[in-house]
Structure 1
């Protein structure tokens, strides 16, 4: 009986994580193109090609619920029809399509909390009905899931949008009230999320984490990435070492969960850098908060949100390169050489 309960709990846990990861993948696929080229395109303002690229990357952002819905279905190992049904339900209820007196407009990337809610609802409906429509599945299931899950999502869109705004405002207010404490806390929280099964990007989007709160979260992720990379550099190939910050430190997730002691140095570093980023007024957006150094999304966004002065350039370099390397070096010495609490083998990657 206990084994059945454990099995059911594990299945539910995997289902939840799969949906979160699928949604996060949709966020990455649709928002990274704009994040990578938006600042570069400003240098070519008025150029026809640059204008077209800007149009494409902006339009891609509005496909977030569609891409995320399909990604959820694929990660859940559903059929194309099932995945498409989830994507349609998420798209119609995301808030990216709005009716006006002049017609219908598509803008923004949607209300993330509502997108997540409908992702769960639509996925459950698909699981329940995946064999119910027989030969008429291709005709009926997309309509059924879109109308039921999407319809409920349309009803919850406004209240969830208000809730998301309130959460974001609450975090922003707390950050203004106790900036150093909240900066340190956000740095630690996101340094933990980036190496957990949960999505740092999805959670940042869901709570609309912006401004200095986003900057602190980015700083925490960045120093965690450099710390893990440096501590495991002697036992990992150069590609694996670079992948910690060029890609994502989530590659250490298995080691971190098996050896919780690894969270101690990353948390210390993240608390320091979260506070420092807040003091230096490093800012970000809800999207950039979950990336840190990866894809240069964090530093590029921090630069775009700054006043572009020489001081700002130095501050961004300090937070995203100079201090993370210094702190990572100190933490490696402290925990590996001095205290001998952590060994390089604790961070060895199993790469295919």
Structure 2
């Protein structure tokens, strides 16, 4: 048996998922809305829309393959994990003799199925020699996929239940829940956990999804404000464009960096809840990356398009960054809780 610590096992699974999410969802997230608008103009944009949507359907396969790569498995083992993850995701549904691809499946179950397949492969190792060519796909692939399908309904109940609970609480207490959700996602974006995966897994929508998106923007705003004077221009620019996770080492070394982030998230979430900014589970984890959050929120708004556009610009691109600069100035210059050195990029 190949030995891997539980901590390393979990890290490999999560990091594989994070990379798969970027590769599989970013194209549609950034270009999908644009191609939807342009599709009626020319058939080439309709084809391009189908391309980015088609890439999105590969997420379960990518999750399995990239998790396997994190464990440095052989090509055959990687293929087995990928196929198991695809089946366990539930993305392929059999109806009336036809196979339908539905979204990206259940991401948590995809992770679990891939993890089960990897576990079996690590346990088996090289014990069966040349018979591995038969055992891996025939037994490991089938058994892991079967287990994935067995647990799929129960995992879906849990994930959809969490999403429904969050959405219900948001409907009952929109401002309070908007603040809490914004805080949670402002932390997740600077942690190893994928915000996109989390949003898709629990299926948040409406104001909850909008608040999640604003929480990510709040984190970016606080970090841009903090890094802009102590690093080269590329650091705050990269953060603004979505590279927040590059600051994870700073967060680990200087946990107080979460103070301006969470404070900015509280105030930004309050504004979002007050204005009823909405989103979808697909947009919730991106923030302003590719303008996914703002575009989705604008699309879901009623009323004057001009007024809606102004609102979106203010809520996503103006207010969070003003708050971020003010909060950092308050904490650094007035209260002197930390110095700007905590924002020095630890390359």
Judging changes above 3 Å, is the alpha-carbon distance between structure 1 residues 303 and 18 closer, same or farther for their aligned structure 2 residues? farther
- What is the DSSP-based 3-state SS (H/G/I as helix, E as strand, rest coil) of the residue aligned with 1:288? coil
1:17 aligned onto 2:11: yes
Contact kept in structure 1, 2:36 and 2:46, CA below 8 Å? no
Q: Distance in 2 between the 1:217 and 1:345 partners?
A: 28
1:231-270 equivalent positions in 2, closer than 5 A: 231-270=226-265
1:100 aligned onto 2:95: yes
Query: Deviation digits for residues 101-132 of structure 1, max 9, x if unmatched?
Result: 14222231101221122122122112112323
1:51 aligned onto 2:46: yes
1:129-208 equivalent positions in 2, closer than 5 A: 129-208=124-203
- What is the DSSP-based 3-state SS (H/G/I as helix, E as strand, rest coil) of the residue aligned with 1:289? coil
1:314 aligned onto 2:310: yes
Deviation at 1:185, TM superposition (A): 0.4
Q: Tell me what 1:70 maps to.
A: 65
Q: Distance in 2 between the 1:77 and 1:301 partners?
A: 38
Counterpart pick for 1:38 among 29, 32, 36: 32
Contact kept in structure 1, 2:39 and 2:49, CA below 8 Å? no
Contact kept in structure 2, 1:282 and 1:315, CA below 8 Å? no
Which stretch shows the higher mean deviation, 151-160 or 169-178? 151-160
Q: Distance in 2 between the 1:116 and 1:55 partners?
A: 26
- What is the DSSP-based 3-state SS (H/G/I as helix, E as strand, rest coil) of the residue aligned with 1:195? coil
Counterpart pick for 2:321 among 317, 322, 325: 325
Contact kept in structure 2, 1:186 and 1:213, CA below 8 Å? yes
Contact kept in structure 2, 1:35 and 1:301, CA below 8 Å? no
Deviation at 1:42, TM superposition (A): 2.7
Q: Tell me what 1:3 maps to.
A: none
Q: Distance in 2 between the 1:272 and 1:249 partners?
A: 19
For structure 1, list consecutive stretches of 5 or more residues without a partner in the other structure. 1-7
1:90 aligned onto 2:69: no
Query: Deviation digits for residues 162-189 of structure 1, max 9, x if unmatched?
Result: 3222211111001111111110000111
> How many residue pairs get matched?
343
Contact kept in structure 2, 1:39 and 1:304, CA below 8 Å? no
1:334 aligned onto 2:335: no
1:345 aligned onto 2:341: yes
1:292 aligned onto 2:303: no
Q: Tell me what 2:116 maps to.
A: 121
Contact kept in structure 2, 1:20 and 1:202, CA below 8 Å? no
Contact kept in structure 2, 1:17 and 1:198, CA below 8 Å? no
Task: Give the TM-score normalised by structure 1.
Answer: 0.92
Deviation at 1:158, TM superposition (A): 1.9
Task: Give the TM-score normalised by structure 2.
Answer: 0.93
1:217 aligned onto 2:183: no
Q: Distance in 2 between the 1:142 and 1:247 partners?
A: 38
Deviation at 1:260, TM superposition (A): 1.2
Q: Distance in 2 between the 1:338 and 1:269 partners?
A: 17
Which stretch shows the higher mean deviation, 22-31 or 138-147? 138-147
